Structure formats: structure tokens, C-alpha cells
Amino acid sequence: ALRPSPLADLDTAALREAHSAFARAYDDLKAAGLKLDLTRGKPSAEQLDLSDDLLHLPDGRYRDAAGTDLRNYGGPTGLAELRAIFADALRVPVGQLLALGNSSLTLMHDTIAFALLHGVPGGELPWSSRPISFLAPVPGYDRHFTIAERFGIRLIPVPSDDNGPDIEAVASLLETDDSIRGMFCVPVYSNPTGAVYSEEVVRALVSLPAADDFRLIWDNAYAVHHLSDERPEPIDVLALAAEAGNPDRPLVFASTSKVTYPGAGVAFFGASPANVEWMLHNLSAQSIGPDKLNQLRHVELLRDADGLAAHMEKHRAILEPKFAAVDAAFRERLAPWGGGTWTAPSGGYFVSLDVLDGAAKRAVQLAKEAGIAVTPAGATFPYGDDPRDANIRIAPTFPPLDELTTALDGLCTAILLAEAETLLS
Ligand code: PLP
């Protein structure tokens, strides 16, 4: 058998030999006729089961602690009891936290639409009064990019590392490009790298000189989604921004999509008092109040901050072995060949894998032809353009562990073949 050593160091003869071995393994893989999926960043059925009490709650009850009849219109800020459960984890004071509809992505989309149409507090003109841009830390979340692209907002990629976006790059872009109005941030267990922004990075983001109507789209989707006991201290971005003299800069978003049910959960918006008032004003033209009965059943399921933490531990118990399987597969199959580097996140929903430059698209294509669906290479970059063609987002949460393991092994086979091909070409 072939002895593994880093592909990039092999001479042509050794590389050809490795290529033939990989090609044979790939033929076997194809012959197995798999049909597996690593694209879906969603909870498994087993995780959804954890929240099935929601299916029979609120069990005839329909009043909040204040005695309000929640069956009716009204209550635009959302249920105070539910906001109290999430206020601590999100580090947003209850009075500045809104509990709204079923999707934080909808809130981000609508917030950006409101800003385009009406401008934001502190801004003189609607964003749409001139061509605008957003900063997009890469690799990032493709649905953020889609919102910007749909609205004609130019996206400027910003490199990021384990501590968050590259602050020097952000500072110099903000200084030289006055079209920048926003920046997408996933500060905790980022999609897809799992990076957690350091306090230093957060302080810089809220204090760097920028336009008065510049906003951080602070998408704290994974604030409570821990996978280990090593937990980042939650950062109070609103307090830091206020301290820096820019209280209106961050707009905090979150949801229970990956706490309870995606699609039937509750989304949150948190910001400065001026931004919250602005948001409520805009929302008042759109709705006479959120689904408070859904919020009530969430209160009954989760009860309090400890109940939320305990619920998330059950998710962790299901997810931890899946993330371990990703690490094990790459360690065993890719590492001996120097075939990639990957993140080992302590929370969130994804692993970010960098294969050898120029091989990601081909690897995803080969995997697909062998019946293993992987998120398209490039999806983690604005306009689908990964300049190195190296990044692949791995979503290990949805498939059962045995299917996940099989899919990862097959993916590694496809990656190694793609890399050998790339180096030979
Ligand atoms: N934000 C991030 C970073 C995500 O990864 C996701 C889902 O994958 C969402 C938002 C979607 O949130 P919601 O279900 O609240 O719309």
C-alpha cells in the first residue's frame, strides 16, 4: 500500500501513483451508489424531538403573567417572559429586546429594507439614496449575501480568522470607502468557521470611525449553541458600542430556530433604544403584533435561563459525536496527505474545511457524482467567488451518525482525487 505523505511535496511520479490509488478508491465509492447529504445546516429529527412538548402547549392557557389575553392582536414588543429568558444569553436588556416572528433572517431582510427605504436613526438619507456596500467577513453565511445581492448592495469580502474579522482590513475599508453602510457579523460560533469574535475585535468594530448610519448586522444565531464546556463569555456589544459613543451601531438578531423548531420558533431583535423605537415604528406598518401564543408555549417549554441552558445541553449531547466524527474523518483521511485544514468549533452548526487551492469545486463535483451532496464550493463567499477555490462548508448536524460517517469518508475520497488531479494539471 501507498505510504501517505503531503501531496504538495510529492514529485510527479509519486503523485501519479497516489492519483491512481485515489482514482481506484473513487471508482469503488461510485460503485457503492450512495445517496447522502452533507449540505443541510438544520437540526436532526432527534433534536426536533426535544421540543415536542410544543406540540401540545400552551394546553388551553392563553394569558401572560400580566393577565393579557394573548389570543388577540397587540403586544408589538413580544412576550416579556420570553424576552427575559433570552436577555441574559444575548446580553440585551429586556427593555431593548423584541420577540417577534418565526425567523431572524426575515428580520434582517426587513431591517435592511427599512434602512434602504427610510434610513436609520442618525442617518440623513435613506440608504438607497446612493449606491451602498456592506462588509462581509469570509468565509460567511450565504443567506446574508443573498439579502445584500437581492437589494443591489455591493458586498466587500473581508478576511477573518479565529478571532473574527481582520480589523486592520475593516478599518482601512471604512476609511477609504464611504459607500459602506453595514457589515454582516456572526460573532459567536460563526457560520461556517465556528470562530468566536474576541472582545478586542468587538471593541474595534463598535468604535472604528464610520458613517453615522453604519450598522453592524449582529447575527447572534448561535449564542447558546455550545458543543463543549469551554464557553466564551458573552460579549455585551450594545454596552460596548454605547461606551464607544456609537450606541446605535449594532443591531442584534437571534432566534430559537436551532433551539426548538426552525420555521416554528421565535426570532429576536435587540438594539439601542433609538433603534428599537425605529424598528417598532417600521413594524407597526407591517403587523398588529407577533404570534404571542407561540411565544407563550416557548416560555412554558424553556421556563427560564437555566431551562434554556439545560435544553441546549440535550442538543449538545446529540451533536458532539457528530462534530467529533468530522474531525476524526479528516484527521484519518486528509491529514496524512496534507489534504486540508479544518476548524474544530466549540459550538454552532458547521465545520469549515479548506482543501488545497483550486480543488474545492472539483472535489464537490466528484462527491456529487458519487451520490454525496455537499454545499457548493464558493457558497461561503459573496457572489459564490472563493478566490482560492479552497473552502468547503460541512454541515454535520442533520444525518444520523452512521450516514454522516459514510458521507465524510466518501467526501475525503473525492477530495484526495480532486487534489491529486489539481496538482497534476
Ligand atoms: N443566521 C445564521 C448565521 C444562520 O446560520 C442561520 C441558519 O442557518 C440563520 C441566521 C437563520 O435564522 P432563522 O431561522 O432565524 O431565520
**What span, in angstroms and rounded, lies between the C-alpha atoms of 417 and 23?**
6
42 Cα nearest atom in ligand 1: 8
Instruction: Give 39 Cα–ligand 1 centroid separation in angstroms.
Output: 14
Angstrom distance (rounded) from CA 116 to CA 282: 12
Closest residue by Cα to atom 1, ligand 1, is: 221
Q: Which three cell numbers stand for residue 357?
A: 487551492
Q: What is the 3-state secondary structure (H, E, C) of 275-343?
A: HHHHHHHHHHCCCCCCCHHHHHHHHHHHCCHHHHHHHHHHHHHHHHHHHHHHHHHHHHHHHHHCCCEEC
Q: Are residues 190 and 314 in the same domain?
A: no
Q: Report whether residue 41 contacts ligand 1, using a CB cutoff of 6 Å.
A: yes
The closest-lying atom of ligand 1 relative to the alpha carbon of residue 41 is: 8
80 belongs to a structural domain: yes
262 lines ligand 1 (CB under 6 A): yes
> Which atom of ligand 1 sits closest to the CA of residue 106?
16
From the alpha carbon of 107, which atom of ligand 1 is closest?
A: 16
The pTM of this model reads 0.97
Candidate of 219, 253, 261, 380 to mutate for ligand 1, largest count of ligand atoms within 8 Å of Cβ:
219
Which residue ranges of the chain lie beneath pLDDT 50?
Answer: none
What is the predicted pLDDT for the residue at 1? 63
CB 86 within 8 A of CB 77: no
Could you report the predicted ipTM of this complex, rounded to two decimals? 0.99
Regarding the beta carbon of 267 and ligand 1, being less than 6 Å apart is answered: yes
Determine whether the shortest distance from the Cβ of 257 to ligand 1 is under 6 A: yes
Atom of ligand 1 nearest to the CA of 102: 15
Q: Which atom of ligand 1 is nearest to the CA of 141?
A: 3
Domain final residue, candidates 303, 318, 343: 303
* Whether 152 and 111 share a structural domain: yes
Is residue 1 situated within a structural domain? no
Q: Is 103 in the pocket of ligand 1 (CB under 6 A)?
A: yes
Q: What is the Å distance from ligand 1's center to 62 Cα? A: 29
Paired with 63 in beta bridges are: 69
Count of domains observed in the chain: 2
Using the mean position of ligand 1's atoms as its centre, give its distance from the Cα of residue 106 in Å.
10
Q: Answer with the one of 303, 327, 345 that is the final residue of a domain.
A: 303
Complete edge-to-edge strand list for the sheet that includes strand 154-161:
97-99, 267-270, 250-255, 215-219, 180-185, 133-138, 154-161, 164-165
Q: Are 218 and 419 spatial neighbours (Cβ–Cβ below 8 Å)?
A: no
Q: What is the CATH number of the domain that holds 23?
A: 3.90.1150.10
- Using CA atoms, how far apart are residues 60 and 273, in angstroms rounded to an integer? 35
Tell me which residue range forms the domain holding 180: 64-303
Instruction: Give the model confidence (pLDDT) of 330-389 as tens digits.
Output: 999 999 999 999 999 999 999 999 999 999 999 999 999 999 999 999 999 999 999 999
Q: How far is the CA of 267 from the centre of ligand 1 (A)?
A: 10
30 & 71 share domain:
no
Residue ending a domain, choose from 284, 303, 322: 303
Both 411 and 378 in a single domain? yes
Q: What is the pLDDT of residue 19?
A: 97
Q: Are residues 189 and 333 in the same domain?
A: no
**Are 72 and 219 within one domain?**
yes
Same domain, 188 and 133: yes
Q: Are residues 109 and 255 in the same domain?
A: yes
Q: What is the DSSP letter of 132?
A: -
Give the whole-angstrom CA distance, residue 152 versus residue 181: 13
> What spacing in Å lies between the alpha carbon of 100 and ligand 1's midpoint?
15
CA distance 164 to 342: 16
Extract the C-alpha cell encoding 127.
440608504
